[in-house]
Structure 1
Amino acid sequence: MANFNEYHLNPEEFTFLKSFQEQWQVIRDEFTSFTKQASEEELKFTYEVLGPKSKTIKTKGSSKYSAFGILFQGLFIEEYIQLHQITYPDYGTDEASAKALALRKKYFPNLANVIEKVNFKDDNVIRNVYFGTFHPGLDIKLHVNYNHHTNRGYLGLIVPEGDVAMKICHEKLYWQEGEFMVLDHSYPHCPHNYTNYDRTVLVVDFFKTDKPREEIIKFEQEQVIQRMQDNPYSLGVFGKSDKAQAEDFIKYGLAHQLEWDKAL
């Protein structure tokens, strides 16, 4: 049995996540079908436009993290591109939005359907939905996501056996296929994949349900404005600097890890 606490949360407390979990195999199959069937042009567009791109998440070594999704700040990707009038080196706003809509409808209709039903029933509680892949050897440096208005759920889709885990505070947590891991990412954490295979999860960010909704919506709006100014390709997900600061270590009783992380 998992031991839940203030940063490792019980997924059963968030009943709206069940809709994703019940469809996890369908969602996984949409992801694998896309990676196998998409054309070279579609793949290029997806990883350039459907982001989210971070300038701040640092890795140890050369292995990288890749991500793309269909929902950002409660809007489907094509709507988000239009709202913020995002332009790309190879695509204008209208072209990027149209291509994003076509890809979403072609490859991810079931995932989109789950999102629409949950957000209709639960007052737009779901904010970001994207696939996140840890490639072999990935080791992300300790960092903090300053998203104090949301929790992050990871639905395991493709999880190889071996040492692929999330270290957060004093714990080492492991993903499981078909199950959610829910974390409060305002706590220092560092994930890794020390296997020879990709690990892919569906990342589902959702409003904290114990906070006043008006308050967290206002915070999100202000945060997104700043993040889009710093880096429009972040799609509002990643901040200008998510590097863990000394006060983060001290706040969560991790002062002993500060020198350890510096040494690494």
Structure 2
Amino acid sequence: MSTFNEYHLDPKQFPFLQTLQDEWQVIRNEFRYFIQQASPEELRFAYDVLGPKSKTIKTKGNSKYSAFGILFQGLFIEKYIQLHQIQYPEYDTDEASEKALILRNKYFPNLAKAIKKVNFSEDNILRNVYFGTFHPGLDIKLHVNYNPHMNRGYLGLIVPEGDVAMKICHDKLYWNEGKFLILDHSYPHCPHNYTDYDRTVLVVDFFKPEKPRAEVRGFEQEQVTQRMQDNPYSLGVFGKSDQANVEDFIKYGLAHQLEWDKAL
């Protein structure tokens, strides 16, 4: 039985996510088909253009995290590229947008359909949707994701057995295939994959339903504007505020200390 709290949230609170969870095997099949059948150019384009990049979140060692997606800040990726007029070393804005649309339609039609269904009925509550893969040995350093207007859901798609987990405050949480893990990422956390296999989830960022929609939209617009100025390849997902500060380390250590005190 899972224990939920202020940073580990019960998925039942967010029934609109059921649409994606019901389609988890279809979504996983689309991801696998893409990885297995896409050309080297398509794979490179996905990870270079469709993947949010961070300048602040660091890993221990050489193992990597890779990601690419189709929805950012409530817009499908081809529209997001056009809105922000993102320029890439190998592609101009129009070319990148066109290629993104072709790739989305070719490989991820069912995922796109599920996103549209949720956002149509829930006033565009889904903001970012992307695949995130932890490669073997990955160990991400303690950080925060300053998104007080959103929660982050992980829909398990490919989860190997073993020690692949999220450490957040005094909890060590695990992903499960076909299930959502919902976190408030404003709390300090550090995930890892100490297995010999890739772990892939569908990352789903969504507005906190209890907050006024006009308020969260306004905050998102200000935040994304700053993040895109700092790093257009972040796609508005990551920013300078993701760095853990002294207070975060204190909070993280205090949570462990309180647990130790209870045990003693």
TM-score, structure 2 as length reference: 0.95
Is 1:13 equivalent to 2:17 in the alignment? Answer: no
Q: Please tell me the root mean square deviation across aligned C-alpha atoms, in Å.
A: 1.2
State the partner residue of 1:188: 188
Assess if the C-alpha contact under 8 Å between 2:167 and 2:173 holds in 1. yes
Deviation at 1:241? 4.3
CA distance in 2 between partners of 1:193 and 1:251 (Å)? 24
1:160-208, CA deviations, whole angstroms, 9 ceiling, x for partnerless residues? 0000000000000000000000000000000000000000000000001
Q: Does 1:41 align with 2:25?
A: no
Name the residue aligned to 1:25: 25
Segments of structure 1 that go 5 or more residues without pairing to the other structure are 258-264
1:90-239 pair list within 5 angstroms: 90-239=90-239
Residue 78 of structure 2 is matched in structure 1 by 78
Q: Sort the Cα spacing of 1:251 and 1:193 in 2 relative to 1 into closer, same or farther, 3 A.
A: closer
Q: Which residue of 2 aligns with 1:68?
A: 68
Aligned mates of 1:256, 1:244 — CA distance in 2: 17
The alpha-carbon deviation at position 242 of structure 1 amounts to: 1.4
Supply the AA of the counterpart residue of 1:34: F
TM-score, normalized by length of structure 1?
0.95
Structure 2: runs of 5 or more not aligned: 258-264
Change over 3 Å in CA distance of 1:179–1:84 after alignment to 2: same
- Decide whether the 8 Å contact of 1:249 with 1:255 is kept in 2: no
1:97-127 CA-to-partner distances (Å, cap 9, x unmatched) read 0000000000000000000010000000000
**Residue 88 of structure 2: aligned partner:** 88
State the Cα deviation string for residues 201-251 of structure 1 (Å, max 9, x = none): 000000011111111110000000000000000000001241211112335
Overall identity of the aligned pairs, in %: 79
State how far apart, in whole Å, the 1-side matches of 2:159 and 2:87 are: 35
- Per-residue deviation, 1:143: 0.3
Relative to structure 1, the CA distance from residue 104 to residue 179 in structure 2 (aligned partners, 3 Å threshold; closer, same or farther) is same
